[in-house]
Amino acid sequence: MAVTSELNVAFSDTLQFDRYQPADATPKGLVIDIHGGGWFRGDKQKDQDVATWFAQNGYLTIVPNYHLVPEGYFPVPLEDMDQLFKQIRQQYPNLPVAVFGSSAGGNMAVEMGIKYKIPVISLSGILDIKSWLETHQDVVAKPDQKQDFKNAASSTINQTGDDDPFYKWFILNYLKDPHLADQATPASHIKAKSGPMLLVNSLNEFVPISGVFQVSTQLARFQTPVETILLSGTRHAKGYLKEVQPNILLFLKKYLTNRSD
């Protein structure tokens, strides 16, 4: 299916999104695609490939930028997504909306699903924050020096297995104040029925699978549909995207329908 795109559409004084859509068909729905990068690096252009794929499969896709650290300490990126969501609802009142995110974007996607009750697809979402920090107090936080993020393909970033020092570093870098860890942990916000979720993680990557268990357990408590996929190996987020693309399309077909809430 042919795809058209419109780049750098403003949704605030300082932020923009890119729009990808089927060229010759009415969209089945709208997918917000939130890029990863640990809240300190990355850009919407990194997800051009994913957004194009969504559009080829019939979904209008919005890929936003958001404030990164040091301008975007928690909860600023989530507030950016609130502003985006408001504009999307005004511009597309009749299209059902889902949200997709990788890594840090997966965290933000889950938070949007909790708040707005929309379907969520999270690849390697940063979901375990508070309890992980409490049980890893002896880990010395260190920045990632293994990859050149700006020049590396998105699917090759952080494909080296667990890296507790880096995981701790970018979480604390995002929080700025460690006392905000509970507020930044998605599972702690699930206190009613949320949007349905598809949570994917590799078993031995640098993002711990404990966050998947925390979120899925809470969702089940409130009878919210949740699907989990745990893959072998160390691949992170877009590193296993092709393998789970059929699952993503089935999830959207099942849950991305017109909703009254």
- Residue 87 neighbours by CB under 8 Å, 6+ apart: 11
Tell me the residue type at 151: N
**Percentage, residues of the chain above pLDDT 90:** 89
pLDDT recorded at residue 76: 98
Confidence band (pLDDT; 50, 70, 90) for 106?
Answer: very high
- DSSP, residue by residue, 132-177: HHHH-TTPPP----S--TTTS-GGGTT-SS--HHHHHHHHHHHHSS
C-alpha Rg value of the chain to the nearest Å: 17
Nearest of 233, 164, 178, 222 to residue 197 by alpha carbon: 222
With tokens 């998605």, the residue in question is 186
Confidence band (pLDDT; 50, 70, 90) for 151?
Answer: very low
Mean pLDDT, range 87-108, rounded to an integer: 96
Q: Are 124 and 236 in contact (CB under 8 A)?
A: yes
Confidence band (pLDDT; 50, 70, 90) for 159?
Answer: low
Would you say residue 93 lies in a domain? yes
Q: Is the pLDDT at 129 greater than 90, yes or no?
A: yes
pTM of the model: 0.94
Mean pLDDT, range 140-147, rounded to an integer: 77
Which segment of 44-48, 97-101, 153-157, 223-227 scores lowest on mean pLDDT?
Answer: 153-157
Would you say residue 260 lies in a domain? no
Residue 20 is part of which domain span?
3-255
- Residue 228 neighbours by CB under 8 Å, 6+ apart: 198, 199, 200, 201, 212, 216
Which segment of 38-47, 55-64, 156-165, 174-183 scores lowest on mean pLDDT?
Answer: 156-165
Q: Say how many domains are in the chain.
A: 1
Mean pLDDT across the chain: 92
pLDDT recorded at residue 77: 98
Would you say residue 261 lies in a domain? no
pLDDT recorded at residue 85: 98
pLDDT single digits (tens) 9-53: 999 999 999 999 999 889 999 999 999 999 999 999 999 999 999
Would you say residue 207 lies in a domain? yes
pLDDT recorded at residue 145: 61
pLDDT recorded at residue 150: 47
Confidence band (pLDDT; 50, 70, 90) for 1?
Answer: confident
Confidence band (pLDDT; 50, 70, 90) for 148?
Answer: low
pLDDT recorded at residue 24: 86
Confidence band (pLDDT; 50, 70, 90) for 157?
Answer: low
Would you say residue 172 lies in a domain? yes
Would you say residue 82 lies in a domain? yes
Mean pLDDT, range 245-251, rounded to an integer: 98
Q: Are 36 and 110 in contact (CB under 8 A)?
A: no
The CATH number assigned to the domain holding 205 equals 3.40.50.1820
pLDDT recorded at residue 259: 46
Q: Is the pLDDT at 243 greater than 90, yes or no?
A: yes
